[in-house]
Each structure stands twice: as structure tokens, then as C-alpha cells.
Amino acid sequence: MKQALLRVGGKPTERFQQRSKRLTLEEYLKYDDRTDSQYELVAGELVAMPPESPKNVQISLFLLVNFLKFVPVNRLSNKVEIVVAGSRATTRIPDLVVLTDELATALEGAMRSTITLDMPPPALVVEVVSPGKANEDRDYRYKRSEYAARGIAEYWIVDPQINAVTVLILVDGFYEETRFTGNIAIASTIFPELQLTAEQVLNAGESNISNTQTISVPE
């Protein structure tokens, strides 16, 4: 997922001139700059999230459609945020999240789609890696340790830059990883009956486009 750090020092934009301290989780959850901008909170600092590339969005939607074959729509989200650390408040907004039944129930009626530390962890999260060393480190290093500490059973890293899907399974508090490429079928403990290859995911089903009906929009 592509992100960009908002500058607080130097020449900040007007709405950030009064904000020099790190935010607590409570302050972040109440924060509103009256724009449509989306942020994560990383160790108390606001991090702006630019729009995803069309390719990344396509991959996320392709996985969502395929996961819907096994779970109801209320068990999937591409908007929910996860609180992953408490002492230095950090939240993450994965590209796709699979909720457990217990977690879906806990979120019912909530005013904000935030999985707090007192809620059960998701069953599975997916991150689609954007180009750049910072994005690579974020998804492969930082989020790996954060999601493991949060107790998330399965973490997928879909990386179009290296044409691979890495599936990490939580075992005794640590992730054990398997990397899938080409026509190798992806093995998932959450979706054992899933029949997708890494190539299908990375191409987001583009090979099937010729078999779909073209939709025309009237002028």
C-alpha cells in the first residue's frame, strides 16, 4: 500500500501548523481535517495515504470477489482500520481484510470501522505492495511484525514488482512464509478450498476478460 508522510516541520500546510506533538489513539480517532484525505497513525504521527494505483485496486477487488465465494459480504472489508500497537499508537488500513464471525459481531453498530485492541484480530489481511523501498519495507518488515503481534492468523503480501504472492501463517506468535509465483496454486489455511494461482492474482483475472460481457454506457 502506497503512503506518504505528512511534514509537520519545515513548511507545513495551514491545517497542521498547530500540531507538533504526537497524537494519542483517542486524538487520532477524533481527528478531522474536513477533507476526504485518509490517514494511518504510525507511532503517533499522521501518515497520509495517496490513492492506490489502478493495478493495486484491481488486484484487491479480484481477491474480494474470490473470497466472497467462501464468506458473506459482512466478513470482508477494504476500508476497516486495525489498531496494532498501544504504547505508541499505530493503526493500519490494509487493502483487504477478512473478519472472523466474532469480530464482525463486535463491529456491528460501530460508528467507525476501527478494530481496537480489545476486539478479536481479523482472520486474514492482504497488502498489495506499491513501488519504492519505503513501501516495500512497510509491508514486508513493519507490518509483518505488527500483524503478528496483533495475532492475525494469515497475512498476504501481493507484490506486482516481483510477481509474487507471499503468504505468512502465524505459528507460535511468528509468521512462517511461503512465496508463490507463476502457476503455483496459493495455499491458504483460512481458505483451504481456494483455487487461485499467483499469476491469476497478479493479473487480477485479466485473462478472463475476453469471456466477459462488455458493458456499454449510453451517451
Q: So what's the pLDDT on residue 87?
A: 73
Q: Nearest Cα to 48, choosing from 7, 79, 83? A: 7
What is the pLDDT confidence band of residue 185, given thresholds at 50, 70 and 90? very high
Strands 164-171 and 154-159, sheet pairing: antiparallel
What is the pLDDT confidence band of residue 173, given thresholds at 50, 70 and 90? very high
213 or 39, which is more confident? 39
- Is-contact 106 119, C-beta < 8 A? yes
- Determine which of 33-37, 125-129, 185-189, 192-196 has the lowest per-residue pLDDT on average: 33-37
How do residues 191-205 score in pLDDT, each as one tens digit? 999 999 999 999 996
- Is-contact 163 201, C-beta < 8 A? no
Q: So what's the pLDDT on residue 15?
A: 41
The mean pLDDT value for 64-91 works out to 92
Q: So what's the pLDDT on residue 3?
A: 53
Conformational region of residue 201, where left means phi above 0, alpha means psi within -120 to 50, and beta covers everything else: alpha
State the CB neighbour count (10 A cutoff) for residue 172.
Answer: 5
Give dist(CA 111, CA 138) in Å, integer. Answer: 28
Residue 18 is placed in which grid cell? 498547530
